[in-house]
Structure 1
Amino acid sequence: MKKNILVLFCLISVQVIFSQIRNVDGSFGKIPRRGVDSLPDNEINVKLSGKTKYTDYKIISHKNDTTIVDTTLTIQKEYKFNFLRKDNFELLAFHNQGQTFNNLGYDFTKISQFPDIGYKAKLFNYFHIEDINYYQVPTPTTEIMYRTGLEQGQVLDALFTTNFSKRFNVALAYKGIRSLGKYRRSLASTGNFRLSFRYESPKGQYAIRGHAVNQDFFHQENGGITPTALEAFINDDPNFSGNRARMDINLNNAENTLDAKRLYFEHTFKLLSSKDTVNQKDFSNLKLGHSFTRDSKFYRFNQGSATTSVFGESNTSVGINDKTTYLLYDNQFFLDFNSKYVLGKFRVKTALSSYTYGYDNLQNNTVGITKNKLKGKAISFGADWNGRIGNFYVNASGILTPGSGRLSGNNFKGEAFYKKDSVFTVKARVGISNKSPNFNFLLHQSSYDSYNWENNFAQIGTRTLGGVIDSKWGNASLDITNISNYTYFNDNSTPEQFLGDVNYLKAKVSKEFTFGKFALDNTLMYQKVANGNSVFRVPEFVTRNTLYYTDEWFKGKPLLVQIGATFKYFTKYKANAYNPLLAEFTLQNDTEIGYPTVDLFFNARVRRTRIYFKADNISSFVLKKNYFSAPNYPYRDFVIRFGVVWNWFI
């Protein structure tokens, strides 16, 4: 809480400093300005060097796609108003915000090139390289997102960005979460600090951008409620319905932490611009570039004393202190150019990468583990292509890491799409990937005897084929995925590879119907696992339907309101169980979960401020107590929460 307040205070202080200008007489005053409206017919007017429009406040993604700062109030903003700040339609949240998620669906269109440390249950709120944004703003800009916690605590996500010149931008952001859950030992405390910058020389010959990220994820782990408490929950025992903290839990002294730091920068030098006359017909915009990544992660599981009834025998009678470290260096060199022969932009690239994963020393000397570290280096080669012919676009990216090491493999992604203005877009995509499983599948050590292994697993092969249709009449997508050597944690929490192929189909359709001031937004997902459903499990149907009312209230229409209810349902399936020692989800064959929920919301927008009131799971008053996020982990009961998103433009 103190850390969140300090960050907010600093950002506001910087905002105030940048909002002052020195007048001719030496005094200070506010920059003359008008309020910023989000609608296209309202513009930001700031008396600096001329007229500033709302379209001048730009957000630039890692792929250099540009959007503008958006202060509208839409139903999509309602779906994204959570601590992830993403639409979590395919995720099943645990009861306390800041905790992990179970999966209702999977996305295999974004597969990383190299294996990672693992412990995936800790990484839902992790900012990857492609999650960091860069900015171009004519005046200092701030966004504050605040949301109340479950029992005690809150979420705060604060961003401040400014251009020190037309070509140099710096952005500071921090997202902090501290939330005390309804059940004992369910505290979640996380922080994501991001610093990004971008600079371009006056003539655009040299450009650099980069970021530094520091992230920490701390969770108390209670192992779920005990069988006796589980029975009391299902039967709605009045002794516990008003106070979930009375329920017994499986772990009373366990917690896990994942810390992550990353330094990334990319810079380019233009050897030949589009204005040069030499070879302009054949080649232009010739750039030489280099990118550097240093990515480190540290995972720790602590326990005051061993709990053999949950994790089995241990080699120590004192506290558990399992530690795992991971470090990756990646240097990539590339050459960019445009040419009529490739119908667009082409990049050739090569990279040198090295990694270290493991433990400072052997955690358990009684189980026959022979090594405590994995190390290696690799050289990669690849190319990217972005082409266009009229309204037809092609994007392709491929990289090959030859050899037999743990970083070896290949990754190819391609998409072709046709875009007809804002009427519709049709896209086809394909992906092929071969890579080693995450490192915690290959080597793991723990003071608990059953959590020690050394494996030499085969590479996981993933092949995807799919398509997307976006139109004013509705949206639809279809993805077919084939996975060979699928790697998972079995019901004994040990890693295995599936001998056959997993064949997974996912189809999703969405459509909104409007009736005057009312609207019905619908999303339906159908999934089928044709082969491998013994190890890969998803619900067959997932649906979300939102009925809401939108109107402008009061004279002069200063207030836009959005009032509605969201119904969500997924069919029963044997959802994966959560293992807090591994911070991973594992197979289980005993419990099926699947249930509906109903949430109510009242949202409003006053100029640049969006206000959110939400009543979560109001259906818990009338439905059976069969709502779970994972076996032994109940989903949240009815709770009312408040939040706000506020933009300032100086």
Structure 2
Amino acid sequence: MKYCILLFFMFFGIILLAQDKQPVSRKQLDTTRLEKSLKNIPARPQEGAEEITIKNYKIITHDRDTTYLDTTLTIQKEYRYNYLRTDDFELMPFSNVGQPYNRLGANLDRIQLYPRIGATARHFNYEEIEDMKYYNVATPMTDLFFKTTFEQGQLLDALLAVNTSRRFNFSIAFKGFRSLGKYQYSQAESGNFRTTANYITRNGRYQFRAHIAAQDIIGEENGGLSEKELQFESEDPQFSDRSRLDVNFTNARNKVLGKRYYLDHQYALVKPQQDSLGRRSTSLTFGHTFNYETKYYQFQQDAQQDFFGSTILSPIDDKATLKTFTNQVAVNFSNRLLGTLSGYASIYNYDYYFNSILITENQTITNRLQGEEISLGAQYEKAIGNFKLKGNGSYTLAGELTDYFLTANANYKINDKHSIGASLHASSRLPDFNYLLYQSEYENYNWQNDAIFDKEQVSSLQFDLASQVWGDLSIKYSVLNNYNYFASTASSEQIEAGTENAFVRPFQAGNSINVLKVKYAKEFRYRKWALNNTLMYQQVDQSGNILNLPQLVTRNTLYFSDDIFRKAMYIQTGITFKYFTSYNMDAYNPLLAEFYVQNREELGGFPMMDFFINAKVRQTRIYLKAEHFNSSFTGNTFYAAPDYPYRDFVIRFGLVWNFFS
């Protein structure tokens, strides 16, 4: 009843707000929702500009792909309205915001040339260099993202982008949240500060872009439920209050903290000229990239717990630190006929360390891995009519971490409704540093494998079809050699005693693993109704159950869209159904902040249904969702990982607000 009252007052307030606004004139209703939103932006022409539209608010990615601010309300915006602000179709979230995500899809291609610190389960919200965005705006622009969390906290992501002139733009942003969670000792919080700047001189010869990022991600760890069969799966009413369920411990927490300073600048020795058709002539540019980043992962526990085995010292305070320093110089040649070719050389220094050296009867485990990597690379890009080709490759001349890295993709636009593409990836490098060296106060969490593990090799080939008529189809085939993973060596008796996590260690597969992934998306529309469908099929060929994935994942959304209140408000409302077949879902280890392979129980095979009502008033998008509303009548079998339940039915709301000055 209280949820119904909340819904009534919320949308009654929205109606009053919408009625207070002047209706949009018929002239302003363009054929697309995007063009409709442009008309409401206050225009303040500068430096001779005749008119300012939404296309003057540009967003530039690390790869220099440029889009512009989108203030429309679409079903894709609904999918991206979450903690990560990206579509999480291939992820399975834990019960609380900011906790880890289990994987439903195989994303095996390397993004970075060098190994990372590890603790990947705590890095989903960590913004890497490739995630940073730069802005080129006509007037100051603000983006505010707000969403409620689970008990005693909120989620806010605020960004301000400003230009002092057309040539200099900067932004400052902070994303922070806190959420207590429904289960004991599951509080999570984080803060992501980032600021960017980009500049080009009046003559266009020199330009730079830079950013600073300071991020911390903190979470309490409870080890999962200790009596899940009796308290959770039994559906006993006395445990409907999830804070009453027993957990394995209430005295542990982990943290990821990182700071990064990045600069990319270049000077045009031969400045390109444009002809009357806007085509650019030959240019020659020299560039330099600098990056310095410090990061540490820390696990703390007030006292020893049998869950992780025996200890050397107590209380537990494990801390792994990684410092990296990159210098890269590049030469860029661009020609209208030959395309754009870049050659670069980079020096990468790394220092991964702990604060002690461990000496045992059998071995000595050092406290540090450090060294220098020297690599050469090249990039190429060319467009011939509707055909585009792009590639990037590098080869390590000196160093122990990597061998090579190659990505290439080709795309052909058949017409305005159809395009096809193909991409290739190949890489060879050592796994993340926590596979190679780790130290802990817990005895079984000490190892050194840098001289034992071979480089992991990933090769993949992907074909894509994007069609407004037939839908979007992606087929990807990947081959893994020397695949690295975490697993437990615990016996059945040790698992029964609840000490499976005490025997988790890194391993390397001896045989190849082949993965086929087929993903299809298509929306069917009838008047004001639409059915949006995404289907993914995966098949893994391997000698042992090492890479476990669901064979089928589906998401289907039936929704209704329309203008209301004399077209002053646009709404979308519907139901989303998500389902994945049962499989041996990876288990979570809170000490390492990593998932590990387990084959003792299958999880999944349960539906997740959400009801949503979203509205748009000018540049404000309002979101209201009843998440997993079927949890009370489909049984307590919903898990995000062994011993870690998925969230119960909850109503959450928020907004995204863009305003300009």
CA contact (8 A) 1:398 1:411 kept: yes
Which among 313, 318, 325 is matched to residue 322 of structure 1? 318
Aligned partner of residue 130 in structure 2, secondary structure: helix
Which among 579, 596, 600 is matched to residue 607 of structure 2? 596
Distance 1:165 1:111 in 2: 34
1:105-155, Cα deviation, whole Å (9 max, x unpaired): 122344310011111001011111111111111111001000001122111
Aligned partner of residue 76 in structure 1, secondary structure: helix
- The runs of 5 or more residues in structure 1 that have no matched partner are 1-33
Higher mean displacement: 354-363 or 206-215:
354-363
RMSD: 1.9
CA contact (8 A) 2:42 2:660 kept: no
Q: Are 1:627 and 2:638 counterparts?
A: yes
Q: Are 1:339 and 2:335 counterparts?
A: yes
Counterpart position of 1:381: 376
Counterpart position of 1:4: none
Aligned partner of residue 444 in structure 2, secondary structure: helix
How far 1:340 sits from its partner (Å)?
5.5
Distance 1:45 1:283 in 2: 36
Q: Are 1:361 and 2:356 counterparts?
A: yes
Kindly provide the amino acid, as one letter, of the partner of residue 429 in structure 1. S
Counterpart position of 1:250: 248
Q: CA 1:566/1:363 → structure 2, altered by over 3 Å: closer, same or farther?
A: farther
Distance 1:596 1:233 in 2: 17
Counterpart position of 1:416: 410
Kindly provide the amino acid, as one letter, of the partner of residue 121 in structure 1. A
Aligned partner of residue 365 in structure 2, secondary structure: coil
Kindly provide the amino acid, as one letter, of the partner of residue 342 in structure 2. R
In the alignment of these two chains, the number of paired residues is: 607
CA contact (8 A) 1:38 1:70 kept: no
Counterpart position of 1:196: 196
Q: CA 1:109/1:469 → structure 2, altered by over 3 Å: closer, same or farther?
A: farther
How far 1:462 sits from its partner (Å)?
0.3
1:472-495, Cα deviation, whole Å (9 max, x unpaired): 020010110000000000123100
Counterpart position of 1:519: 530
Higher mean displacement: 573-582 or 369-378:
369-378
5 Å matches for 1:231-246? Answer: 231-241=230-240, 243-246=241-244
1:242-292, Cα deviation, whole Å (9 max, x unpaired): x11111110110000010111111000000022399xxx998111000001
Distance 2:255 2:543 in 1: 33
How far 1:338 sits from its partner (Å)?
1.2
Higher mean displacement: 366-375 or 436-445:
366-375
Q: Report the TM-score when normalising by structure 1.
A: 0.91
Q: Are 1:143 and 2:154 counterparts?
A: no
Q: Report the TM-score when normalising by structure 2.
A: 0.89
The runs of at least 4 aligned residues of structure 1 exceeding 4 Å deviation read: 34-38, 363-367
CA contact (8 A) 2:609 2:627 kept: yes
Distance 2:640 2:123 in 1: 17
1:541-569, Cα deviation, whole Å (9 max, x unpaired): 000000000011112x1011111000000
How far 1:407 sits from its partner (Å)?
2.4
CA contact (8 A) 2:521 2:534 kept: yes
Distance 1:38 1:108 in 2: 36
CA contact (8 A) 2:146 2:157 kept: yes
Distance 2:45 2:389 in 1: 41
Distance 1:332 1:370 in 2: 33
Aligned partner of residue 273 in structure 2, secondary structure: coil
5 Å matches for 1:174-323? Answer: 174-226=174-226, 228-241=227-240, 243-275=241-273, 284-308=282-306, 310-316=307-313, 318-323=314-319
Distance 2:324 2:562 in 1: 51
How far 1:177 sits from its partner (Å)?
1.4
1:342-392, Cα deviation, whole Å (9 max, x unpaired): x31110000011100010223676774331000100110010000111111
1:68-125, Cα deviation, whole Å (9 max, x unpaired): 1111000000000001000000000000011110000122344310011111001011
CA contact (8 A) 2:358 2:366 kept: no
CA contact (8 A) 2:460 2:479 kept: yes
Aligned partner of residue 360 in structure 1, secondary structure: coil
Counterpart position of 2:430: 436
Kindly provide the amino acid, as one letter, of the partner of residue 541 in structure 1. L
Counterpart position of 1:605: 616
Distance 2:333 2:217 in 1: 41
Counterpart position of 2:5: none
CA contact (8 A) 1:600 1:615 kept: yes
Kindly provide the amino acid, as one letter, of the partner of residue 416 in structure 1. A
CA contact (8 A) 1:45 1:51 kept: no
How far 1:296 sits from its partner (Å)?
1.5
Counterpart position of 1:103: 103
Kindly provide the amino acid, as one letter, of the partner of residue 441 in structure 1. Y
Aligned partner of residue 78 in structure 2, secondary structure: helix
Counterpart position of 1:468: 464
Distance 2:128 2:312 in 1: 36
How far 1:163 sits from its partner (Å)?
0.3
